[in-house]
Amino acid sequence: MDSLFTTVLLNTLSLKVLMVMVIGILAGILVGTLPGFQANMGVALLLPLTFGMSADTGIIMLVSLYAAAIYGGSITAILFSTPGTTASAATAIEGFELTKQGKSGTAIRIATWCSAIGGMVGAFSLLFISPPLSLISLKFGPPEYFLIAVFGLITIASIASGSLLVKGLIAGSVGFLLSTVGLDLDSGYPRFIFGMSFLASGISFVPAVIGLFALSQVLAMVTQDSGSMGSGVAHYDKKDWKFFITLDELRQVKNTIMRSLGIGMVIGVLPGAGADVAAWVSYHEAKRFSKHPEKFGKGAIDGIAAAEVAKNTECGGALIPLLTLGIPGSTTAAILLGALVMHGLVPGRDLFTKYAEITYTIIIGFILANFLMAVIGMAVSRHIAKLTNINIGILAPVIVTLTVIGSYALGNNIYDVWTMVAFGILGYFMKNHGYHPAALVLGLILGPMAEKGFRQSLVLSNGNLLEYFFTRPISVTLIVLIVLTMVGPLLMEKRRQWKARIAG
Amino acid sequence: MRTDTLVAFLLIGLSAVFYKLSMDLTDGGDIFPKLLSIMTAGLSLVLLIMDIRKARAENGSEKESGGPKTLRPYVTFVLAVLYVAAVIIIGFFTSTVVFMVVMMLYLGVRKISNYLLAVAFVAAFYFLLFDKFLHVPLPRGLLF
């Protein structure tokens, strides 16, 4: 154990890992700062670069970007009332009020250090909760793997498409269907390749992700008029800019921090709700518990602390079901799942035994990245906000070239680039018509696992699949969860309509 | 035709193709695709019914939805397709420079310095990172 701890620590503190961490953080803050850019787009664009890296180094770069992008969105939310990401919308309410009062430094300081506290606690919980939780995966057999894949897909489908669950399910189902393209691993027989030999190895997941999340975003971005993305210049008082959060400030928000840590953690572990939900719930709870709720909406630092702590705690929390059971809690987590699989790491107990060195390096790296994020964030936030003045006319072509070179560099294969382009236009169409691409991506990633589990279950059940599924406790639990996830939102909607009718 | 109706028909067609092709597969390779084809077709049918009901409620006309009413995304997409085709023929770096200039012109970038800075930065960054550091054999094509 000691030697594992020492190796992990040395790995994490190596120059290479620290460098990729800094790159991931800077890229993340940039992605978070630019309105219209989401963490998933950043992770998709950086994914090809991790190919040449070891699994731990590559994943650390991606999780650093993930955390920093969630935080970075708050910088523009505070300075310009333009949340860089949806998760920062709650921060914008109080943060921009403080900016108008010349206290943008206070707002940024609170947001930055509270994000870091949330992120670090989230990462520590990942360290302590994941290993025991992963023991459950030891009890998994083929039916459970099949049901986990279905459950993961349904959670993403149900959040991604809101009330229109059917569209999310269609996207996931098509993702599953597309995952069957290529050689059948059992028989070695090619399936659905339509005479195109490059399809024999299946539809590459990374170009699909780059197309669905990056190219499609550029297509959406160019609909805006050319010009900068920022809106105006922030007012700030130089005296208000201090590097560290003060003890007095910490004392004011300590109760909010504690409460928001709990909220972020619970929402993170529950598959389905993302950082934006965590931020809003936490913000409203802070207002409800506040001795001065009247200050909310007028620049309450409690409001900023609540949203920031919860949304970054949620990041760590969302990785718990991902690493232990393979259930991604958000779109970005779905892409991270693909990255893990791409590096030969399968979520479950093996990650904490056979690949313990890699996994713990990633987790310790994630803790450190959250701290570094605050240091770098405080150093660059004032300057990076100026980047919102970059013209879309320049940014859009740069990103297109990045999507092309990124998907080409994967296997030095132009077919991957065409795959990316095809998924780019598909993603644009999907987003515009309510079919969220995350479900399709997850279908592509989880398809092979679902198929393997299903086919093995068929063999093991001797043809009586239903009896086989319903006599296994974990399978039954998963089936119940699947049904609840599908029916739950519909029932809540009916209840809301019923209540509205009674009130009306 | 309404968009969701069109999507439903397209997906039912796609499911039918996958199902038909699955019938030639052996050794259990057909089961999962068949199941998914049926599931996709079933869900598409639900979508179709929901859209027909919605159309009746809206008196047949589709409410303003979906994409913005501008050609920009589609022109950008066509330019991206031409760019990828050009990468194979004239090489990555030349096509990247041409694509960036054309795209910036189309999106209304005016300052010459913006063109020079953006193109120079991108070309240098890709050359150093992908060519020199990661040793990715980028397509050279007829020119560079």
Q: What angle do helix axes A356-384 and A301-325 make, rounded to 10 degrees?
A: 150
Whether residue B62 lies inside any domain: the answer is no
For chain B, what is the domain count? Answer: 2
> Tens digits of per-residue pLDDT, A166-212?
898 999 999 999 999 998 878 888 899 888 888 888 898 888 988 99
Query: What is the model's pLDDT at position B65?
Result: 54
Beta strands A182-183 and A190-191, pairing class:
antiparallel
Q: Do A189 and B29 touch (CB under 8 A)?
A: yes
Contact B11 A167 (CB under 8 A): no
> What pLDDT does residue B138 have?
85
Computed from CA positions of residues A382, B111, B91, A223, in that sequence, does the dihedral angle turn out positive or negative?
Answer: positive
Test B130 with A421 for CB contact under 8 angstroms.
no
B90 vs A: CB within 8 A: no
Q: How far apart are CA A368 and CA A119, in angstroms?
A: 10
How far apart CA B57 and CA B35 sit, in angstroms, is 33
User: Residue A431: beta bridge partners?
Assistant: none
* Residue B126 counted as domain residue: yes
Percentage of chain A surpassing pLDDT 90? Answer: 28
Number of domains in chain A: 1
Per CB-CB distance under 8 Å, the chain A contacts of B3 are 433
Distance CA A307, CA A111 (A): 8
Chain A closest-CA separation from residue B57 CA (Å): 17
Per the CB < 8 A criterion, the answer to whether A409 and A210 are in contact is no
DSSP A246: P
pLDDT digits (tens, 9 = 90+) for A267-281: 877 765 677 778 888
Q: In the predicted model, is pLDDT for residue A161 greater than 60?
A: no
Contact predicate A184/A196, CB 8 Å: no
What is the pLDDT at residue A397? 93
| A400 neighbourhood in chain B, CB within 8 Å | 76, 80, 83, 99, 103
* Structure confidence at residue A381 (pLDDT): 80
pLDDT of residue A364: 93
Residues B95 and B48 in one domain: no
Chain A residues with CB under 8 Å of B1 CB are none
> Are A234 and A79 in contact, with CB atoms under 8 Å apart?
yes
Same domain for B93 and B43, yes or no, is no
Could you say which of B21, B118, B139 has the minimum Cβ distance to residue A394?
B118
- Mutual orientation of helices A55-80 and A356-384 as an angle, nearest 10°? 30
Q: Which residues contact A132 (CB under 8 A, 6 or more apart)?
A: none
What pLDDT, on the 0 to 100 scale, is given for residue A233?
A: 47
> Do A191 and B33 lie within an 8 Å CB cutoff?
yes
Q: State mean pLDDT over A306-315.
A: 90
Domain assignment of residue A33, given as a range: 2-503
Q: Same domain for B38 and B85? A: no
C-alpha A227: how far from its chain's center?
Answer: 29
Nearest-Cα distance to chain A for B62, in Å, is: 12
Measured CA to CA, the distance from residue A211 to residue A38 in angstroms comes to 14
Q: What is the pLDDT of residues A429-488, one digit of tens each?
A: 998 888 878 889 889 888 988 999 999 999 999 878 889 999 999 999 999 988 988 887
- On whether residue B48 sits in a domain, the answer given is yes
Cα angle value A272/A277/A281 (rounded, 5°): 130
**In-domain check, residue B101:** yes
> Which residues have a Cβ under 8 Å from the Cβ of B21 and sit 6 or more positions away?
A191, A192, B33
Mean of pLDDT values over A336-350: 88
Interaxial angle between packed helices A142-160 and A437-460, expressed in degrees from 0 to 180 and rounded to the nearest 10: 160
CA gap A304, A293 in Å, rounded: 13
Residue A162 zone, left/alpha/beta (φ > 0; ψ -120 to 50; rest): left
Helices (H) and strands (E) in chain B, counts: 5, 0
**Regions in chain B scoring below 50 on pLDDT:** none
**Euclidean distance between CA atoms A223 and A232, whole angstroms:** 21
Inter-chain residue contact B136 with A401, CB threshold 8 Å: no
Instruction: Tell whether B17 is covered by a domain.
Output: yes
Choose the closest CB to A223 out of B11, B72, B130. Answer: B72
Q: Could you tell me which of A455, A492, A476 has the C-alpha nearest to residue A142?
A: A455
Q: HEC states along A376-390? A: HHHHHHHHHHHHHHC
pLDDT band at A332 (very low <50, low <70, confident <90, very high): confident
Helix (H) or strand (E) holding A191: strand A190-191
Q: Clarify whether residues B53 and B83 are in a common domain.
A: no
Count other Cβ atoms within 10 Å, centred on residue A25. Answer: 27
The ipTM assigned to this model is 0.92
Band of the pLDDT at A1, cuts 50, 70, 90?
Answer: low
The pLDDT score that the predictor gives to residue B141 is 73
What pLDDT was estimated at residue A84? Answer: 66
Q: Is residue B114 assigned to a domain?
A: yes
Gyration radius from chain A CA atoms: 23
pLDDT at B137: 85
Lookup: tokens for A221 = 């971005």
**Res A49: pLDDT:** 85
Residues A383-391 have a mean pLDDT of: 69
Task: Find the domain containing B88 and state its range.
Answer: 72-133
Give the containing element (helix H, strand E) for A103. Answer: none
Position B21 in a domain: yes
Burial (Cβ within 10 Å: 0-12, 13-18, ≥19) of residue A9: middle
